[in-house]
Amino acid sequence: MKKILFIIKSIAKSIAAGIMATASGKKWFILLLLSSNALAAPSQALLDAIRHVESGGRCVTGDNGNAVGPYQIWKILVDDVNRILKRKAYTYDDRKDEKKSREMAVVYLTHYGKGLTALEMAAIWNSGPKGAEKMKYNKNVQKYVEKIKKVMK
């Protein structure tokens, strides 16, 4: 029980969404209920739009071999998600797995997208933690956000 409480506490510090956590060899799905002032996780519609814009939903490799899977995840993002979770929850190969890559997207966007809109979260996905700021002046980020907006309609 102490191990489960520790896992819940560490996840609660990092994210406000459901993710998979391993405890004693069993997988526990932990759904954190959000209070009205808590931080929201990215919507399913946003996650679907990101997957569609990034890869058309296919497991592909892009950006000279750096971006992998349906969400086009770079190694640095996997490292960052593991840092956020304070454990090695994901491997580079997990980028090819639809479910695990979506979980990584939830962790990343929940962590960096605190208090932001879906489109600002899309900008973060496209250009990193400062993406919402870049959205104001970077034409490439603006084009990406417009693609997300069209898919979400």
pLDDT averaged over consecutive 10-residue blocks of the chain (153 residues)?
Answer: 51 46 42 43 96 95 94 98 97 97 97 96 98 96 98 94
69-90 confidence digits (pLDDT tens): 999 999 999 999 999 999 999 9
Q: Are 86 and 56 in contact (CB under 8 A)?
A: no
Q: In the chain, what are the domains?
A: 37-152 (1.10.530.10)
The token pair at 110 is 């929940």
Question: What is the model's pTM?
Answer: 0.76
Burial of 82 from C-beta contacts in 10 A (0-12 / 13-18 / 19+): middle
The token pair at 147 is 């693609």
